[in-house]
Structure 1
Amino acid sequence: MKLWRVDLFFIITIALLILCSAKPIFGQTKVETLLSSKQLENILQRYSLSNVDSLPLSMRLYHVSSFLEGAWLSKQDSLIYKGLMQKTWLLGKAKLYDSAIIYTHQLYDLAKQNRDTIYMARASNKLGIYYKKNNQLANAFNYYNEAFRISRIDKDTLKAGKILLSMANIQTFLGDYSGSKTTAVDGVKYLEHTSDIRSLAGLYHIISVANRQQKNYSEALKYNGKALALAKDSVSVRAVGVNNILIFKNTKANILADQKNYKSAISIFSELVSNPIVQKDKKEYTRVLSNLGYVQWLENKDNKNSETLLLNALDIRKKINDIEGLVTSNIYLTKYYLDKNKTKALQYAETAYQNAKKWNSLTSILKALGYIFELREATNKEAKEFKEIHIQLREANQSNREIYAVTRYENDKLTNENLVLKAETARKERQQVIYLFSTLFVFLIGVLVFYLYRQRLRREKIREVYNAEARISKKLHDELANDVYQVMIQMQNDQNDPEVLDKLEEIYHTTRDISREHNSFRTGEEYATELNGMLSSYSTNGTKIIIKDIDEINWQAINPEKKIIVHRTLQELMVNMKKHSHAELVAITFKKTPKGVVITYADTGVGVAAEEIIYSNGLQNTENRIKTIGGSFIFESAKGKGFKAKINFPN
């Protein structure tokens, strides 16, 4: 009864596996209806069940298939991606690689249709994995290359480096050590500055193995040392992986043995054989054990212990069905008996050949056939197979090189374009820096010019104040001090002299004129009135002042500084008129223009010939003042024809 139950469960499991992998969902007809929230919740529960590790793989595949059916009905690409990713992973876990490949192609096609490069890269990488597991190495390399190309375009350097590691592994397996080294070196460029030290160590290891096979032992040890150096502390040891570190040490011992440094190699192998971690891993333990036996034999062909170690390793590998290891053990034993017992050597060579065919290792098949040919005359069938495999291996390696060469060219081209773009960006940045510094330089020059201009104005103002003080002092001395002194003399001679009062009145008027020339005035709303008053104050019985259109000017729109300069300029003209011109009529006209204000001054004074005009302090001050507000001062005069001046300044 118990046996029947076991058989029934086994049959159901097989049936479910066949059901899950038989018909692609991709080919089913889509229903044009959307799922309700309850149905969506139900299919998501199916997905959750597919993730339960305690369930048999068959049940997990059943649940993810149900989820995927609902995902197609929902027409939500995110759910379809989720389902296909999960199903392909479970099929790969179940070693149903053919079915895994079918569903991964569906994932790739959907991603390509949506132009989704992320899932295109993931699908391509999965196809590389499953084709490799299925011993379809050419297809595996091609899809890995596609995944690498997309990752490179997407600038996912971490993914690109890991994919190159997978590609280099395939090339190593096919015996293309030159190609694997090139690919691995490219992978290092992507990963050497990342946190993925496990993949980086793997790339260093491949470069080391390639150099060993090419008999470049110094370089082999160099890159082996790089791989081991990555495990510098407990954290990095975990990151690289303890088993990987043991493999790297095993490779180091093999390189030393190739250099005939047998003692160092045997020392490393002996240490590894005693390692508890190695002893727990039968596959790794037999690898080290057989290597130790082989190197001991290389050191001493009469060493009996080496045969024991080789046979022990072979026996364990048979028990655990380690096909790859069986190939190595049989090749070692073939070499061991080659000169001692050709019959045994041939038996081991033929066994190595059979295991190599199971493992589908073309390089191992060729190696085994080579020993078979050496030990006995080859049959036509074996000779033909040797030739065909040799051609197949050569073509596979050539194809892989061509596939990657095209991608590498595209990558180099893209890199060059990026370098050109970076150079152009750098050039623009340099230009911006130049523009910035040029602007800053111009600004500083402007500030300097402005400062110097302000200093010049300040000096001119100081000179103007000094000149004004000098004029006042001169007036006080020339026009007042002498008159006061004369009055004092007259009063000493005759206090009752009637001319004394007249002289005192004249002194009073002179003092008032000096005060008027230098008094302050308002620049606000009363400005026009005060300016008009100042000009009118120079009117006497002998001089008539005509002021025209002063109120037509919008004085409120003119800043105070300009008003002050206009006032002082006109005052200077009026003072000059009174002192030198003796004019009977003075006309001052104000006119507004689109660009500013024009003030015209004209008098009927004595005038002066043009060749006799010498700039007085007053005229110089007048011109300097007007220039400070961006205006101009033009005058003309002729003897007997009066004096004319035109003042022009912007609003």
Structure 2
Amino acid sequence: MKKTLYFLHRRAFLQRLILLLSIAIAGITLLQSDEFDTPSNSVQKDNSTEILKFSDLADSLYDAYKLDSSYYYYNRAKLLCNPKINTTDYVYALYSMSQIKYDQGDYITSEAHATEALPYLKHIRDPKHASILYNQLGINYSNTYNYSDAILYLTKAIHLKSSTWRRYMALNNLATVYMDQHRYKEAEQILFILSTQKRTSKYEDIDKDNYARAIDNLGLCYFRLGDPEKALRYVNEALKIRLSLSSEYEYSLVGIYRHLCLFYMKTNLKLAKEYALKSHKIATKIKILTDRISSLSLLIKTSEGSDLKKYSLSYIKLIDSITHARCKTKNQFTNIKYISRIDKTENLQLKAQKAENELELARQKRRNIYLYMIIVLILSLIAFVYFYLKSKGTKQKDDAVFESEIRISQKLKDELTNDVYHSLTFAETVDLEKRENKERLLNNLHAIYTKTRNISKENGSVPTNENYPASLKEMVSGFKTAELNIILNGFDAIAWNELEKSKKIILYRILQELFVNMKKHSQATLVSLTFKNFEKKIIIIYSDNGVGAYNRSIILKNGLQNVENRIKTINGNIIFDSNSKTGFKLSFNFPK
């Protein structure tokens, strides 16, 4: 375990480990994010472009009074909609289909389409869609004589926070319902207020059309109340406004001409018939069946002879065509329901697939959570080991400094204090005028200087540049004396310049401590130092002929614990030859 911690303590290894883990985490995260995104992208398909294309085409066909074709493309748009995603487009398609069926006199189907859209209004912020739908339902119920529901939905439209002109239109429709119920006074009160408001929006033509409808209905209301003078004044004003508008508002003339026909039916039958003809002509052009029936009914009432027969036959034929159209619509509606059923089946399959994908996503999320927890745990462990080793390294450095200070202090005490004391005592007690005493004192001082210089060298900085081999040789040679011979073998075979700086320093200190230990304890006269290259390691063998060390405990007590610790810091090994009877021998190795 201790060897492992020393190995981990190497800065290069730790940096590589963190880098590799970072790359692995980034790769896994990218892979997981790709996998995470793939299912959600494949589940939903955006049909917005096709929906818009069909809706625009249906709008154009409706403006051209091609109602059947328009209805077909609105339905195509509706089938492409996902109500939860394309909510506004879905409601718009249903409202438009409801309007077409209303124009064709099929109030039941019109109501069905409008009712189908109701649940989705709560998902649309813009109140204009609710206003349009409530108005549509209101006039639908009015035409099927369901006045209570008509009033309910029109009142809802009035209370919406929509634009002023939309509330104006809802009030106008509500007044019409009151007139259908013969509640003329209530209708007259609403319509009179509306007749005082000419501008309700920023669109002049819309304001004119809405105002003309209001005063036209007010004129009809006065006619029912028995005031023909007021009735004609308001209806003629409405006619004048409507004639000034573009052909886009031509449909609005149908009602005015019908009302004028009613006004003149008892006083001027010929004029009444002219207005009935005008109403029928426009109704036929715009293909609104209910308006055609109403205008034909007036033509029958204002005609005689062959014209009466002609219009009566047209009326019967039109009623037959309506019956046929409703049967056709019923079949078409059945077909649409069949298509919708198929669509629902496909949607159910998609929902099942979506549910399966969502389940897989949930599993993937859980796997991601576990993965992130493991990553966090690993990073936390790395951080802990890093800071632990850093703290331990700092402590070891502090301990090493402290030990060095103690060692230097002890050395100064052991080697210099007594010498200095004896030299001072000698200088105070003897006559220094005598030559032999003076020379003895100088020799003592020189010995003190030499010991001081040696201590300084032992603890000074170690050169790690190209001068390192020479410095190492010089340090070893410094221990050579007349009584001690030192032999170096294979020194020049080592590529000293390729060795790391830290290893150079540690090797220098190890050899230094070995020689110091030898000098203090071994009484050797010969030291051999051999350097070898073996595979990817450097091997150094030290031997001397001094007093041998027969067991490891004696060696450690003799001050070689530092040597063993230093070698371990460079991932090296040391071997003591405890069997030597003639001296002391050890070898150590470390990676290049």
TM-score after normalising by structure 2: 0.62
Q: Would the alpha carbon gap of residues 426 and 313 (structure 1) be closer, same or farther in structure 2, given more than 3 Å must change?
A: farther
The match for 1:289 is: 215
Q: 8 Å contact 1:204–1:224 — kept in the other structure?
A: no
8 Å Cα contact 2:293-2:318 kept in structure 1: no
Q: Structure 2 residue aligned with 1:634, among 564, 574, 591?
A: 574
* Distance in 1 between residues matched to 2:508 and 2:76, nearest whole Å: 87
Cα-to-partner distance string for 1:373-423 (whole Å, 9 max, x where unaligned): xxxx99987875564243234345555666678779889998999999999
After TM superposition, the structure 1 = structure 2 runs for residues 20-419 of structure 1, keeping only pairs within 5 Å, are 124=54, 127-146=57-76, 166-167=96-97, 169-174=99-104, 175=107, 176-180=110-114, 182=116, 192=125, 203-212=129-138, 213=140, 215=149, 217-218=151-152, 220-226=154-160, 228-229=162-163, 245=165, 248-255=167-174, 258=177, 266-276=188-198, 284-292=210-218, 303-305=225-227, 309=231, 313=235, 324-325=251-252, 359-362=286-289, 384-385=320-321, 387-398=323-334
Amino acid at match of 1:475: K
Q: Secondary structure at the match of 2:162?
A: helix
**Which of residues 567, 571, 574 in structure 1 aligns to 2:512?**
571
Higher relative contact order (CA 8 A, sep 6+): 2
Partner SS state of residue 574, structure 2: strand
Structure-2 separation of matches of 1:513 and 1:249: 110
CA distance 1:370–1:276, shift in 2 (3 Å): closer
Gapped regions of structure 1 (runs ≥ 5):
1-116, 193-199, 232-244, 337-346
Tell me the distance in 2 between the aligned counterparts of 1:437 and 1:410.
40
The Cα shift of 1:433 comes to 10
From 477, 495, 518, give the equivalent of 2:459. 518
CA distance in 1, matches of 2:388, 2:64: 86
Question: Which residue of the other structure, out of 465, 468, 471, is the alignment partner of 2:401?
Answer: 465
Secondary structure (helix, strand or coil) at the match of 1:638 reads: coil
Structure 2: which 5+ runs fail to align? 1-46, 142-148, 264-272, 300-311
Distance 1:317 1:368 in 2: 17
1:588-636 CA distances to partner (integer Å, 9 max, x unpaired)?
A: 33334554544343444433344634745954433443444x4224232
Contact 1:635 1:645 (8 Å CA) reproduced: yes
TM-score w.r.t. the length of structure 1 is 0.57
**Displacement, 1:270?**
1.6
* Secondary structure, counterpart of 2:173 in structure 1: helix
2:215 is matched by which residue type in structure 1?
Answer: L
Structure-2 change in CA distance of 1:447 and 1:421 (3 Å): same
How far apart are 1:571 and its partner, in Å? 1.2
Cα 1:177/1:524, change in 2 over 3 Å: same
Q: Is the 8 A contact 1:289 1:309 kept in 2?
A: no
Matching of residue 550 in structure 1 with residue 491 in structure 2: yes
Distance of aligned partners of 1:177 and 1:165 in 2 relative to their CA distance in 1, 3 Å threshold: closer
Question: Residue 132 and residue 216 in structure 1: after superposition, are their counterparts in 2 closer, same or farther (change >3 A)?
Answer: closer
Distance 1:547 1:225 in 2: 109
Partner of 2:476: 535
- CA change 1:559–1:277 in 2 (3 A) is same
Q: CA shift at 1:474, angstroms? A: 1.7
- Secondary structure of 1:466's aligned partner: helix
Q: 1:401 to 1:626 in 2, by over 3 A?
A: same
Instruction: Kindly provide the CA deviation profile for residues 514-572 of structure 1, in whole angstroms up to 9, marking residues without a partner as x.
Output: 33322333221110111122123223444433323333333223343332222112212
The number of aligned residues is 496
Q: Give, in whole Å, the separation in 1 of the partners of 2:63 and 2:566.
A: 96
C-alpha change, 1:127 and 1:511, in structure 2 (3 Å) is: closer
User: Are the aligned partners of 2:87 and 2:123 in contact in 1 as well (CA < 8 Å)?
Assistant: no
Query: Contact 2:222–2:230 at 8 Å: present in 1 too?
Result: no
Residue type of the alignment partner of 1:534: M
Query: What value does the CA root-mean-square deviation take over the aligned residues?
Result: 5.9
Amino acid at match of 1:625: R
CA distance in 2, matches of 1:586, 1:554: 23
Structure 1 match to 2:14: none
SS at match of 1:631: coil
SS state at 2:227 partner: helix
What SS class does the counterpart of residue 591 from structure 1 fall into? strand
Q: CA shift at 1:482, angstroms?
A: 2.1
Partner Cα distance (1:283, 1:484) in 2: 124
**How many Å separate the matches in 1 of 2:564 and 2:154?**
91
- Tell me, yes or no, if the aligned pair for 1:366 and 1:389 is still in contact at 8 Å: no
Cα distance in 1 for residues equivalent to 2:130 and 2:256: 26
- CA 1:265–1:427 in 2, change beyond 3 Å: closer, same or farther? farther
Match of 1:111 in 2: none
